[in-house]
Chain A
Amino acid sequence: MLIAVHPHRWLADLSTQQEVVVEAAARFRRATADTRHPRVGHAERHLNAAQLVLVRVAGEPSYLGYVPLFACWNALIALLVGLAGAALGAAPGWTLAAAVAAVVVSYKPYQWLAYLWVVLLSMFRIARATRDRPPVELPPEPDGPRAVAEQTVELLLGARSTLARLGIETLDRHRLRAVARRPAVFHWLWTRDRTLEALSLADRHLCQAADAITVWLTPDEEDE
């Protein structure tokens, strides 16, 4: 299937967590703007990565979905080169060679366009699913970097528990649901099912960010 289908509530919950993570990351960045610490930098990198992944979760096609997308792109490129060859009056052999070369060279632009398509589709679906939803309410921002950092960890862990539920729901809807929760199969699905891959990756980024902030907050115990 070209596009993976998700229930409305799943999309709405996902969007709430996107907003929570974006706001938590913004608060953490503001509060630690003057802090130079490797764990703070590490947390920020993973918060940014988590945001980037969460933006595209809802638009990810299934694993096999990328194949027809790639085939359509190649056919389009070949058609354009063919039209150009016919307009210029080039020999068919040369036109064919140029089409093959254009298909090879256009792989990188294809990757960018596919990424853009996934993000736009994700944003469209999220916007449609959250049309009637009230804005997400977050606790007020506390004073001082440590208090903000503690609140960031709380918000991230809250977001994680929702992502965990969404992940389990995705696994339960999966066509391999009978075995999808077994660790070896789940790991295999990371590289096959784009929605699960993105959910799992975003969750791991949040884990790393929360752990890095916790380590920073308790330097005597674990900071190296």
Chain B
Amino acid sequence: MSTPLSRKEVRARLVACSVRIRRATARAQIRDWEDGGADHVLIARLDLIADELSGAARVYGPVASTRRAKVSRSVTIGAWAAAGAAVLWVAGPPGDPVTLALFVAGTGAFGLLFNYALWAVRGLGTVRALAEESVPMTEDVLADLRTELDDLEERLPADRADLVLRALEGAELWRGAALEHLRFGMPPGQV
């Protein structure tokens, strides 16, 4: 008997699966756009799988609150707060509405510049890394998903397992349909 996972672990693994499927969807979509929008079926089924997986992850909490997003938000808010506190320390609290607006606009402008700088530094690095990264073939992503789903089904925590299981069954169903379409619905190796 495998060790049950915690709710947090299940959510993290489901989010990771969902992101892998979304990337496969992005691959299918950009190829399809380049071909003039001829094959909607694969995109639809991959999107359905990702919807089911993120729906399952949402059972155990909001999926947007990943560590990276939290860190990014905390750093930005921290910069705004630090700028505001520094101005307050030097000049004291603003005594009239105009000074207050200037104070907010000043710290806001600093936060804005900080945000842009952070975006530029991190974003450009991310783009460079992503441009060199190859997204795995869709068949491989779907095959790996099967293994992951089987493992998750065995190790789900008892709490609200029925809801998650139903979503995982949905994901498995559409995984089969997507594979079927890949194998028989279009020339192999195209996506």
A residues at B contact (CB < 8 Å): 63-64, 67-68, 71, 74-75, 78-79, 81-83, 85-86, 92-93, 95-96, 99, 103, 157, 160-165, 167-168, 176, 179, 181-188, 190, 192, 200, 203-204, 206-208, 210-212, 214, 222, 224
Contacts and interface: CB of A to CB of B under 8 A. Distances in A.
Residue among A75, A86, A163, A203 with the most chain B CB within 10 A?
A75
Contact of A165 (B23, B36, B98, B123): B36
Contacts of B123: 192
The 5 closest A-B pairs by CB, nearest first: A82-B97, A164-B37, A211-B44, A187-B26, A82-B100
Contacts of A187: 22-23, 25-27, 135
B32 to A, nearest CB: 7
A208 B174 CA distance: 12
A211 B45 contact: yes
Contacts of B111: 71
Contacts of A185: 127, 130-131
A157 B43 contact: no
Q: How large is the interface on B (under 10, 10 to 19, 20 to 34, 35 or more residues)?
A: 35 or more
A207 B47 contact: yes
A59 B126 CA distance: 27
Nearest to B34: A168
Contacts of A222: 177
B109 A71 contact: yes
A79 B26 contact: no
A78 B43 contact: no
B48 interface: yes
Interface string B168-191: 000001000100000000000000
A86 B130 CA distance: 52
A161 B37 contact: yes
Given A83-B97, A204-B47, A208-B47, A182 B116 contact: no
Contact of A75 (B25, B101, B130): B101
Given A74-B108, A179-B130, A207-B47, 4 more contacts: A67-B115, A161-B38, A192-B123, A203-B29
Given A71-B111, A190-B26, A211-B45, A181 B34 contact: yes
A60 B27 CA distance: 24
B103 to A, nearest CB: 8
A82 B44 contact: no
A99 B47 contact: no
A64 B43 contact: no
Given A79-B101, A82-B100, A92-B94, A157 B37 contact: yes
B97 A176 contact: no
Contacts of A67: 112, 115-116
